């Protein structure tokens, strides 16, 4: 199966999930997670119309940004855990950081940035010990106490448990949506919090039904069957 076939299947699934929840397809941004493929594969996806690309390793990210520098309309997403010492290298290139998971990282971004950086606050809604991020109470406390000029909290991100139980997935995604609305209503400067980054290959349709505005899809997009 080709990348084109994969993309068309995903687009159909996105459109159906959006329709099911009474939303427009344009409300949902597909981020192609390309951490397992090379630049040539990314160029194929680009030629098919994909513009949002997500990477999770700083060194590989900067290499791919350089290799695709001629494609100036790419929207780069950093989706992995980010070490503070790597902030300087990736900051000039990212459009969105999906993994703001601790105050020290926000402090480093504030120190290094010269303009606003669109960040998703990573929230461990399911409170799994193996996952990074703020819990819901910590996220609320963080946004209420922050005073950053360059760190802009555009939304929240979560990674759902690895399960096929749709009820569990809905519970997690709806929990993040409720927290997003709660923070949005606070009207805090530099914390618009309109967006939700949630849903991957196994669960993005459920995430869309529960309000996802960015979905991060890798395997279903780049696997060649």
- The candidate with the shortest Cα–Cα distance to 79, out of 53, 105, 59, is 53
DSSP string, 33-60: E-TTS-HHHHHHHHHTT--EEEE--HHH
pLDDT score of 155: 98
Residues of the chain with pLDDT under 70: 1, 225
Using one digit for the tens of pLDDT, what is the confidence trace for 92-140?
A: 999 999 999 999 999 999 999 999 999 999 999 988 777 889 999 999 9
What gap in Å lies between CA 160 and CA 172, rounded to an integer?
7
User: What's the domain range around 155?
Assistant: 3-222
**CA 111 to each of CA 85, 108, 115, 179: distance values in angstroms, whole numbers, following the listed order:** 12, 5, 11, 28
- The candidate with the shortest Cα–Cα distance to 117, out of 103, 126, 106, 128, is 106
**Total domains, the chain:** 1
CA angle 8, 170, 207 (to 5 degrees): 30
Cβ neighbours of residue 13 closer than 8 Å, sequence gap 6 or more = 204, 205
pLDDT score of 91: 96
- Please tell me whether residue 130 adopts helix, strand or coil conformation: coil
pLDDT score of 130: 79
pLDDT score of 34: 97
Largest CA-CA distance found in the chain, in angstroms, rounded: 49
What gap in Å lies between CA 25 and CA 15, rounded to an integer?
5
pLDDT score of 135: 95
CATH code of the domain in which 158 resides: 3.20.20.10
Using one digit for the tens of pLDDT, what is the confidence trace for 207-217?
A: 999 999 999 99
Tell me the whole-structure pTM to 2 decimals: 0.96
């Amino acid at each position: 199966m080709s990348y084109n076939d994969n993309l068309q299947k995903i687009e159909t699934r996105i459109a159906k999930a959006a329709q099911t929840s009474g939303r427009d397809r344009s409300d949902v941004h597909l981020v192609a997670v390309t951490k397992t493929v090379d630049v040539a594969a990314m160029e194929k996806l680009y030629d098919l119309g994909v513009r949002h690309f997500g990477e999770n390793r700083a060194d590989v990210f900067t290499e791919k940004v350089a290799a695709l520098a001629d494609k100036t309309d790419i929207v780069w997403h950093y989706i992995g855990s980010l070490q503070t010492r790597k902030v300087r290298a990736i900051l000039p290139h990212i459009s969105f950081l999906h993994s703001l998971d601790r105050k020290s990282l926000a402090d480093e971004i504030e120190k290094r940035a010269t303009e606003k950086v669109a960040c998703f606050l990573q929230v461990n809604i399911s409170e799994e010990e193996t996952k990074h991020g703020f819990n819901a109470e910590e996220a609320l406390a963080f946004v209420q106490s922050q005073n950053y000029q360059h760190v802009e909290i555009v939304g929240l991100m979560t990674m759902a448990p690895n399960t096929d139980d749709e009820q569990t997935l809905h519970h997690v995604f709806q929990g993040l949506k409720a927290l997003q609305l709660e923070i949005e209503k606070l009207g805090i400067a530099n914390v618009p919090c309109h967006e939700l980054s949630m849903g991957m290959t196994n669960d993005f349709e459920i995430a869309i039904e529960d309000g996802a505005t960015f979905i991060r899809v890798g395997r279903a997009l780049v696997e060649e069957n």
